[in-house]
Amino acid sequence: MKRFLSLLVVAILAGIFTLGTYKMFLEPEATVVNESEAKPNLTPVNYTLTNTNASASVSGIDFTTAAEKTVNAVVHVKQYGITRTPRNLMEFFRNGGAQERRIQGAGSGVIITEDGYIVTNNHVIDGATDLEITLNNNKSYKAKVVGTAPQSDIALIKIDAEEKLSYIPFGDSNSAKIGEWVLAVGNPFNLTSTVTAGIISAKSRDLDESDNKAQSFIQTDAAINPGNSGGALVNVRGELIGINTAITSQTGSYVGYAFAVPSNNAKKIIDDIIEFGGVQRGILGITGGTINPKAMETYGISTSQGVVVASVADDSGAKKAGLLEGDVIKEIDGLPIRKFSDLTGYVNSKRPKDVINVRVLRKNKELVLPVTLSKYEIQRYKINDVGVEVANPRKDYLKKFDLDHGVVISKALSSRMKRYNLEGLIISEIDGKKVKSVIEVKEIIESKYKDEDITISLVDRNGQKREFVFQ
């Protein structure tokens, strides 16, 4: 009995010692929060990140319906092409130059009609000699290119399937709101039929204000990675509101910023390609920019948002409607215009001869001016890397060469090219693509990477077609 009591006392003392040691040295110090400084309803970050769907469900949003509606209409695009680039210096010296090698790239595409029209990014299919489309049911088809718009990075391709295909209907990207839930559907890293969720982070995003391509992207934080290009950005109703196009990342992978071409712009380009064979671009006929402190001082503007008109082109729709230098464009067809990319994004969804209502602020008075959009046309374009200027030819001139497409060389620019008497010859293709106008030439050339070769198909005065590669 004595031995038992001794052991019990030792056990109790050991417990007290252990508890005291923990309280004194190991227990974390309590944090005192002042009542007035406390922030109510704080949720731990790790909780929100680990259960995004739970938070969406609480808000009454269900992603499953949109995913089921769209996943079968997003396809895997594989493109095959030929490159002449040597893999290393040894190959270059051994073979006396570059060797042709077959290359493969991959991306995504969106079926937009049940008979097989598919929209994707131009950079996904650019340079392809063959295109292979794989559906979500693993069936594969060869595809043909219907038309491209390199400046907007949109391409339309077509497959011939035996059955009617699932497709995604177009939504109204102008009605999409910042903070709205969206899904990105595509094939990142060749992981087919991948769906990620996020919100619209911004609209009318211009990634490079110095760029003359008039970008106007939807920004989202839905995860988009290489291979998602050309895939679908859809709302919770399963409507297509964007074509996923680019990410901004120092690593090349998703870091929280992704960008999509708005569906209204993509649809307009597709309709133009089908109806006219190329993009019909309407313009206001102004130069200008987003209001900044310098513009406010120069033009005596009191508002801080909008587009200030710097000049108005003669014979343009803007000139005929009465727009003046110093006017501030605040709205178009009821759509608020806060920056220049808002304006270009909306106008690029319209065609020549469309009438838009432009609300302007002029000397603190608001006016609504109906403007008929002009057709964007350039008559001449300098291909500096080739050393020639090209122009739109007359149709009867093309007939002399038995052609229904092409542009004419109007001038040799470099001393080297001036030796060859090129004026009047026809360029029928660039990089294997038929060219029908100076605008198409401009779009192809300006979509190329720096130092990338340019392949010109030239029709000589005897009607013979010859191919030249310019480095």
The residue-averaged pLDDT of 349-364 equals 95
From 341, 375, 409, the end of a domain falls on 375
* Residues 248 and 297 placed together within one structural domain of the fold: no
Cβ contact 121:152 at 8 Å = no
The residue-averaged pLDDT of 55-66 equals 69
Check residue 452 and give its pLDDT.
79
Banded pLDDT at 60 (limits 50, 70, 90): low
Cβ contact 188:227 at 8 Å = yes
437 as an active site residue: the answer is no
The reply to whether the predicted model has a pTM over 0.75 is no
Residue tagged active-site, from 108, 126, 153, 341: 153
Banded pLDDT at 380 (limits 50, 70, 90): confident
From 247, 276, 305, the end of a domain falls on 276
Check residue 186 and give its pLDDT.
96
* Residues 229 and 313 placed together within one structural domain of the fold: no
Contacts of 151 (CB under 8 A, 6+ apart): 213, 279, 443, 446, 447
Pick from 95-99, 179-183, 426-430 the range whose average pLDDT is largest.
179-183
For residue 467, list its beta bridge partners: 457
The residue-averaged pLDDT of 366-377 equals 92
Question: Does the pLDDT value for residue 90 go beyond 60?
Answer: no
Query: What's the count of helices (H) and strands (E) in the chain, helices before strands?
Result: 13, 27
Q: Report the range of poorest mean pLDDT among 78-87, 242-251, 438-447.
A: 78-87
Check residue 364 and give its pLDDT.
86
For residue 89, the one-letter residue type is L
229 as an active site residue: the answer is yes
Question: Does the pLDDT value for residue 261 go beyond 70?
Answer: yes
Check residue 102 and give its pLDDT.
63
Check residue 330 and give its pLDDT.
97
pLDDT in tens, 32-49: 222 222 222 322 222 222
Residue tagged active-site, from 108, 173, 229, 374: 229
Which residues constitute the domain of residue 384?
Answer: 380-470
Number of domains in the chain: 4
From 114, 133, 159, the end of a domain falls on 159
Residue tagged active-site, from 123, 166, 271, 354: 123
402 as an active site residue: the answer is no
Could you give the percent of the chain with pLDDT greater than 70? Answer: 80
In a domain, residue 312? The reply is yes
Cα 336 from chain centroid (whole Å): 22
The residue-averaged pLDDT of 291-306 equals 90
